[in-house]
Structure 1
Amino acid sequence: MSKELADNDSVIEKLMTVQTVDGNQKTTNLDRIGKCAEFKKDTVFNNIAYAVDLDLLRASYRQLDGKKAVGIDKVTKVSYGEKLEENLQDLLVRIRKNAYKPQASQLIEIPKEDGSTRPLAIACFEDKIVQHAVSKILTAIFEPQFLACSYGYREGVNGHEALRALMKCSNQNPNGVTVEIDVRKYFNSIPHANLQGILREKISDKRFLKLVEKLIRSPILVNGKAELNKIGCPQGSIVSPILSNIYLHYVMDSWFSEISKKYLKGRADEVRFADDMVFVFQFKEDAEKFYKVLPKRLEKYGLKLHEDKSSMIQSGSKAAKEAELRGERLPIYKFLGFICYWGKSRNGWWRLKFKSRSDRFAGKLKGLRKYLKESLSEETHKVLERVKKVVVGWMNYNAISDNQRRVDSFIELSKRALFCWINRKGGKRKMNWEKFGRLLKRIKYPRSFKTISMFATC
């Protein structure tokens, strides 16, 4: 064994232990896998089904949100926990004997801004435990493989960092080209055979791969009839985010990293959050090459480019300035719920800016008004807290540089909706705006906000 490998083994042994309550050192199976994946990136994992043990199942139970929608068996976290150890022991035996079979997931349709719907699979609580446990193992194995361009469903990174990365690489190309990519129904189009083939590059344990297959092929209730899921990783499943990330890592990220070094002349950057992708090129000819081969690359892996939602557009500060001289503006594009456009800074320099998409802005307010309309019989303080939580959540994501007006507008319009609701609920006992203002102050309804800078990494 080389000195380097020996040193790595020593580090792994040191890092994969954890302190127990009594002060003793305890090695967890999940930690062992994670550290091995981190320090020996070429490892192909075998015999990892053992990592689905009582400790992991118990931890998964604790981490699941008991307030989420229940599955078709109506079992809640509380009711499952009444005989927790007995239930987990029984579940583990079924998993080890290959007798575990997921129950059917209930399919609900979530409205989208364009009028279409997004199918969401609601699994039974016990199946959520298994999904969570499997996702933790997959994350431990594949997280060290992921590239810096990937920001979705990863610990330590988020959408704001993806926006900062996009701003940074866009500003570095004064006369570049941006390619906005949309994969048609990505989550529901992933071929299981292709996905399993990619998983086998890092995992050779047939029992664990079979468990993953059971989860992605688990039945879905359609019109009262349970049907096996033959394609795709349904959104709503806890294991879908990591599987979708693994698939696009191999289909897009690692492939783009390789071709950009070998075949492109200039700088080329990718910023991806799940299936939301933007590519920024220094030269137009490089962008054209990429855009030409992209559909074939996606089709090779069972995916299809959504041409109506994908585009190749000119970008950069120099290009924006030249467009202004012609009396024009550079085209806009969409990323992570924001409109991306080129505008002037306070000192007159052109740079990439972001503002909340109008359709999502309006959709959120529409949903808020609908909730208030349906809550006239609810207790006032509960409704106020619910609305406050929604507004704060929207602010926490949207309160970024250059988007202050949209956030101010959202706060003001939400207050007006609440004001109308309170007076409608009160009947003859009307509340004036001054008294309403005191009420909002008492419940600490958001008035001001701290802007999240998009310049931190620039």
Structure 2
Amino acid sequence: MRAARDNVGRLRQRIFKAAQAGDHKRVRNLQKLMLRSHSNTLLGVERVTELNAGRATAGVDGEVALTDEARADLVARVPREAATWQPLPVKRMYIPKAGAGHKLRPLGIPVIFDRVLQARVKNALEPEWEARFEIRSYGFRPGRGCHDAIEAIFNTLHGRGARRLWILDADLTAAFDRIDHSQLLAALGSFPGRETTRQWLKAGVFEPGKGFAPTEEGTPQGGVISPVLLNVALHGLEQAAGVRYRTSTARSTWALATSPVLVRYADDFVVACHSQQQAEQVKARLAQWLAVRGLALNEDKTSITHADRGFDFLGFNIRRYPNGKLLIKPSTAAITRIRKRLREVFQKMRGATVLALIQTLNPIISGWAAYYRAAVSSGVFSLLDDYVWKLALKWATRRHRNKPKKWIADRYFGRFHPHRKDRWVLGDRDSGVYLLKFSWTRIVRHQLVTGGSSPDDPALADYWARRRRKHKPPLGRYAVFQLQRQHGRCPICGDYLLHADHAPTSTEEWEQWFRVTRKAISKHSLKIAGGAEPGTPDRDRLHLVHTRCRRSASPRGGIGPALLRA
């Protein structure tokens, strides 16, 4: 798979370079080559059936591909059936909407074969648009994420010299569901996968209990290619807002002194303006531009405010103080949600063992802390640790109502962490597993991606290599050290140990990342060849390996999950 990944990566770079040079004919020829690539098919199957969090969710045909035999069958089917395949309707599902109480977010789940084809088309389409996308667009793009958007806002608003202090905080109404198909297809132009994309858009929706419904607008949230299509549909938003640059290169950007600055993450964006009047004008222009594309501002969630009063964006509260200092913290709503989540877990697991409780809570704590570690979160982390400790003590006391407090403390709490002197850590004395704390996650300032840099740009290979080395995953010291020693690769298959469908972009996705990583990566003792001197004995050394590789190798030495304690 490593060879396939390298092949696809090189072809993506060639598409990017041709698009950057304006060589339209070469772009189309390379995209056709990508759509025929066997390596692209292999990566598409891997992404859909192994890396994607929804790999076990079936479409309307009820099929999934979770075994090696089923994956091999998918790989063989693609060249035979792709040209004549008629996309099937997506299956409508509903999941809780983050930060919206009991509201549900609709998802459209394509069948597994359509997902593989979409992953292939995405690799052909995305690098062309990566060479064209706006510089301060950060959502659903390789090498970019929520923290880049937050850091871009910080750079715009901090300091005494900041002038764009009126904020248009905008949100689009059901953006995925309302994209105009004709406008989107026109933007794709002569892209070789355009007709297939049109068929996906028009495939319709099947909702259990309600039946089939045609789709005349929108792209289903849940499709592999949908995030890229949303970015294509919203390309040009900066220009519509009146953003103008003095210079614009892959490495640096400077907005004109009188220009507003727009920072977008998917369908959420903010525009920093010089005055309230300018913000009102920008809002009116954007409303007109969006209407042509079938989209509209959500008036309930769109507001104009001054940076001194603060505003929430992507789960963070951003507020500027009169001395020019800008503080970015977890929002009050985000703190309320995590407290509620923790409280519900303790309530639901009243009769569970302490080990089961810890195994449920650790990914939640790790995921939330990983997302907010780039903000001013130390105080919030400490407050949440106190809150969890009170919940844990209450949980333990309820289990043993007739036991004295000292007995409960000795049974459930202690100095479980080998490198910390904290004596009040909840743990399981039989297994040694213990509950993590928010405050154990180090605060790390995020480094903003430079200008319009893209991982698909071959000229910036060194930049992205340095950036990957600096951005360490939020794991334990041993895991980080071992990953560095192994250059991030599994010694058995040679492929990268840590990859995901995309970089986690929310506390929920970080939680999922921790759960998946714990299952996917294991410690394994491998035989290391002796030294150069004759007679030097071979020796065993622990490595991090893919769990699937460990199963296929000799079982000797496998000792379980390595990256997380619980």
Give the TM-score normalised by the residue count of structure 2. 0.64
Partner of 2:113: 126
Question: Are 1:236 and 2:222 matched, yes or no?
Answer: yes
Question: Across the two proteins, how many residue pairs are aligned to each other?
Answer: 413
Partner of 1:331: 309
Question: Are 1:86 and 2:77 matched, yes or no?
Answer: no
- Cα distance in structure 2, aligned partners of 1:426 and 1:60: 52
Let me know the Cα RMSD of the aligned residues: 3.5
Question: Are 1:360 and 2:338 matched, yes or no?
Answer: no
- Whether the 8 Å CA contact 1:104–1:123 is kept in 2: the answer is yes
1:213-362 to structure 2, matched below 5 A, reads 213-224=198-209, 225-250=211-236, 252-256=237-241, 266-315=258-307, 330-343=308-321, 349-362=323-336
- Shift of residue 393, structure 1, vs aligned partner: 0.9
- Cα distance in structure 2, aligned partners of 1:30 and 1:400: 31
- Shift of residue 359, structure 1, vs aligned partner: 2.2
- Cα distance in structure 2, aligned partners of 1:434 and 1:156: 47
- Whether the 8 Å CA contact 1:106–1:123 is kept in 2: the answer is no
Question: Are 1:177 and 2:163 matched, yes or no?
Answer: no
- Shift of residue 419, structure 1, vs aligned partner: 4.3
- Shift of residue 340, structure 1, vs aligned partner: 1.8
Say which is worse superposed, 433-442 or 51-60, in terms of deviation. Answer: 433-442
1:102-121 to structure 2, matched below 5 A, reads 102-115=88-101, 116-121=103-108
- Does the C-alpha gap of structure 1 residues 229 and 456 become closer, same or farther in structure 2, counting only changes over 3 Å? closer
1:386-397 to structure 2, matched below 5 A, reads 386-397=360-371
- Shift of residue 20, structure 1, vs aligned partner: 5.0
- Whether the 8 Å CA contact 1:218–1:229 is kept in 2: the answer is yes
- Does the C-alpha gap of structure 1 residues 187 and 457 become closer, same or farther in structure 2, counting only changes over 3 Å? closer
SS at match of 2:177: coil
- Does the C-alpha gap of structure 1 residues 254 and 415 become closer, same or farther in structure 2, counting only changes over 3 Å? farther
- Whether the 8 Å CA contact 2:45–2:74 is kept in 1: the answer is no
- Shift of residue 254, structure 1, vs aligned partner: 4.1
- Whether the 8 Å CA contact 1:162–1:271 is kept in 2: the answer is yes
- Cα distance in structure 1, aligned partners of 2:204 and 2:399: 44
Amino acid corresponding to residue 62 of structure 1 in structure 2: E
- Cα distance in structure 2, aligned partners of 1:295 and 1:358: 29
Q: Encode CA deviations 1:278-299: one digit per residue, 9 max, x unaligned.
A: 1112344433432232211211
Q: Encode CA deviations 1:417-449: one digit per residue, 9 max, x unaligned.
A: 444445556787787345433253653612423
- Does the C-alpha gap of structure 1 residues 197 and 403 become closer, same or farther in structure 2, counting only changes over 3 Å? same
- Whether the 8 Å CA contact 1:266–1:286 is kept in 2: the answer is no
Partner of 2:18: 36
Amino acid corresponding to residue 73 of structure 2 in structure 1: E
Partner of 1:324: none
- Cα distance in structure 2, aligned partners of 1:124 and 1:217: 15
- Does the C-alpha gap of structure 1 residues 378 and 145 become closer, same or farther in structure 2, counting only changes over 3 Å? farther
The structure with more helix, counted as a fraction of residues: 1
- Cα distance in structure 2, aligned partners of 1:451 and 1:437: 26
Structure 1 runs, 4 residues or longer, greater than 6 Å off: 24-28, 426-431, 454-458
Structure 2 unaligned segments of length 5 or more: list them. Answer: 247-254, 417-425, 451-566
Partner of 1:410: 384
Amino acid corresponding to residue 282 of structure 1 in structure 2: H
Give the TM-score normalised by the residue count of structure 1. 0.78
SS at match of 2:100: coil
SS at match of 2:142: coil
- Does the C-alpha gap of structure 1 residues 133 and 227 become closer, same or farther in structure 2, counting only changes over 3 Å? same
- Does the C-alpha gap of structure 1 residues 111 and 433 become closer, same or farther in structure 2, counting only changes over 3 Å? farther
- Whether the 8 Å CA contact 1:102–1:214 is kept in 2: the answer is no
Amino acid corresponding to residue 194 of structure 1 in structure 2: Q
Amino acid corresponding to residue 66 of structure 2 in structure 1: V
Partner of 2:128: 141
Question: Are 1:77 and 2:53 matched, yes or no?
Answer: no
Amino acid corresponding to residue 215 of structure 1 in structure 2: W
- Cα distance in structure 2, aligned partners of 1:401 and 1:248: 28
Partner of 1:198: 187
- Shift of residue 50, structure 1, vs aligned partner: 4.7
User: Which residue, out of 144, 154, 164, partners 1:167?
Assistant: 154
Partner of 1:9: none
- Does the C-alpha gap of structure 1 residues 284 and 366 become closer, same or farther in structure 2, counting only changes over 3 Å? closer
1:377-388 to structure 2, matched below 5 A, reads 380-388=354-362
- Shift of residue 269, structure 1, vs aligned partner: 1.1
- Does the C-alpha gap of structure 1 residues 452 and 295 become closer, same or farther in structure 2, counting only changes over 3 Å? same
- Cα distance in structure 1, aligned partners of 2:8 and 2:445: 41
User: Which residue, out of 117, 120, 139, partners 1:152?
Assistant: 139
Amino acid corresponding to residue 298 of structure 2 in structure 1: H
- Does the C-alpha gap of structure 1 residues 259 and 400 become closer, same or farther in structure 2, counting only changes over 3 Å? closer
Q: Percent identity?
A: 19
Q: Encode CA deviations 1:24-49: one digit per residue, 9 max, x unaligned.
A: 99996545434423444656843534
SS at match of 2:413: helix
Partner of 1:437: 413
SS at match of 1:409: helix
Amino acid corresponding to residue 277 of structure 1 in structure 2: F
- Cα distance in structure 1, aligned partners of 2:292 and 2:331: 33
